[in-house]
Amino acid sequence: MKHIDIRYNFIREKIQDGVFKIIYKPTSEQVADIFTKGLARGSFERLRNKLGLFG
């Protein structure tokens, strides 16, 4: 599983160097959910608009 160790260490180093920044996003702001979950109409429309998609 060395390939996982290498990827993990690469990401960890980038975070320590300030290249990557980890920020918290509440579920209500996770735009990827539109592709992975069944959402209520309001949540779907809000996320769709954040993506710049209009129906």
Q: Helices (DSSP H) in 1-55: which residue ranges?
A: 2-16, 33-36, 41-50
- Return the number of other C-beta atoms located less than 10 Å from residue 36's C-beta: 8
* Residue 52 backbone zone (phi > 0: left; psi -120 to 50: alpha; other: beta): left
- State residue 15 phi and psi, 5-degree precision: -65, -45
| pLDDT for residue 29 | 87
| pLDDT for residue 53 | 85
Instruction: List per-block mean pLDDT (blocks of 10 residues) for the chain, which spans 55 residues.
Output: 81 95 90 91 92 82
| pLDDT for residue 35 | 92
Where are the chain's structural domains?
Answer: 23-55
How far is C-alpha 27 from the chain's CA centre? 10
